Amino acid sequence: MSQSKPIVLITGASAGFGAAMAKKYNANGHPVILTARRFDRLKKLTQELDSNFPIHIAQLDVTQKNDIEQFIKALPMTMRNIGILINNAGLALGLSSFQNADELDFETMINTNIKGLIYMTKRILPFMLNNNMGHIVNIGSIAANWPYPGGHVYCATKAFVQQFSRTLRCDLQGKNIRVSEIEPGMSQTEFSLVRFKGDEVKANEVYAGNSPLIAEDIANIVYFTTTLPPHININTLEVMPTCQSWAPLSIVSQSL
């Protein structure tokens, strides 16, 4: 089978944005490489995909450099010509104020949202440089731009994603490699369930009475971003559901 569409590598593909993007690209004839820590979820996902197009799945923790290197070595030769990398793996943990938050949660967010993104990009980029073409899409967050109570480390990691994406684009100027960062607002995925460590009541309260973004919305936006003519680069795209907007600045009266 000849491959006329770029091979797409998606991290964190077992659920949410990642799974929706896997379905979107597969439905449009792209070979897909799907990675996640939860291999059983990846296997289940493949049952929903069109097997007429190449699919490769792998259990992978992006925070582990050696695991990424072994994953690359194990890629079939027919799936090594990666044209689109979507760094989707990421998470938020907890919503306590900084002074009361768990330091282990800080480390997990930093390792996944920052180090994992760096490790994966560093090791996939040579394929694109060799071909003088490619597209890297980093999934950020509106938290990069708009702080909120309890966001501290998570917001900071997403600010990193934003600036890393921009400076990476500077470094790749003239290499015919596009770099885009997509910044979703409130989205109803497993995000809040993970943030509240499996507490479904708390997670559901986030979305109650609202019409948040859903995974398919972001999948459609990412797909659109990567299928534009090659002379167009979406640098940063911030998207909120219509029900979400900015709030007034918080003011607390204090006697000095």
The pTM for the full model equals 0.94
Q: How confident is residue 256, by pLDDT bands cut at 50, 70 and 90? A: low
Q: Which two tokens stand for residue 120?
A: 């994966």
Mean pLDDT along residues 177-197: 93
Q: Provide, rounded to the nearest whole percent, the portion of the chain with pLDDT above 90.
A: 87
Q: Computed from CA positions of residues 189, 194, 196, 200, in that sequence, does the dihedral angle turn out positive or negative?
A: positive
Asked if 62 contacts 123 with a C-beta cutoff of 8 angstroms, the reply is: no
Residues spanned by the domain of 87: 7-184+214-239
* 120-151 confidence digits (pLDDT tens): 999 999 999 999 999 999 999 999 999 999 99
At residue 4, the pLDDT reads 83
CA distance 252 to 184: 29
Is residue 207 included in any domain, yes or no?
no
The stretch 100-113 carries a mean pLDDT of: 97
Number of domains in the chain: 1
Give the residue numbers marked as catalytic. 154
Distance CA 79, CA 85 (A): 13
Residue 3: the pLDDT is: 57
What's the CATH code of the domain at 119? 3.40.50.720
- Evaluate whether residue 225 is within a structural domain: yes
In a domain, 221, yes or no: yes
pLDDT mean across residues, the chain: 95
Only one residue has tokens 């998207």, namely 239
On whether residue 35 sits in a domain, the answer given is: yes
Asked if the structure places residue 1 within a domain, the reply is: no
- Please check the confidence at residue 104 and state whether its pLDDT lies above 70: yes
Structure letter (DSSP) for residue 249? P
Give the tens place of pLDDT for each residue, 209-236: 999 999 999 999 999 999 999 999 999 9
Q: How does DSSP classify residue 116?
A: I
145: in domain: yes
pLDDT of residue 26: 98
pLDDT of residue 1: 41
Cβ neighbours around 108 below 10 Å, total: 17
Residue 2 is predicted with a pLDDT of 44
Task: Decide if 90 is inside a domain.
Answer: yes
Helix (H, G, I), strand (E, B) or coil at 205: helix
**169: Cβ contacts below 8 Å, ≥ 6 apart:** 178, 179, 233, 235
Q: With bands split at pLDDT 50, 70 and 90, how would you rate the model's confidence at 180?
A: very high
pLDDT digits (tens, 9 = 90+) for 45-66: 999 999 999 999 999 999 999 9
Q: Are 239 and 183 in contact (CB under 8 A)?
A: yes
CA distances from 154 to 38, 150, 157, 165, 219 (A): 22, 9, 5, 17, 22
Residue 161: CB partners within 8 Å, gap ≥ 6?
90, 113, 114, 117, 138, 139, 140, 141, 144, 181
Query: Among positive and negative, which fits the CA dihedral 217, 228, 31, 10?
Result: negative
Distance (Å, whole) CA 155 – CA 144 = 5
Let me know if residue 72 belongs to a domain.
yes
Average pLDDT rounded to a whole number, residues 236-241: 98
* 8-state DSSP, 187: B
3-state secondary structure of 179: strand
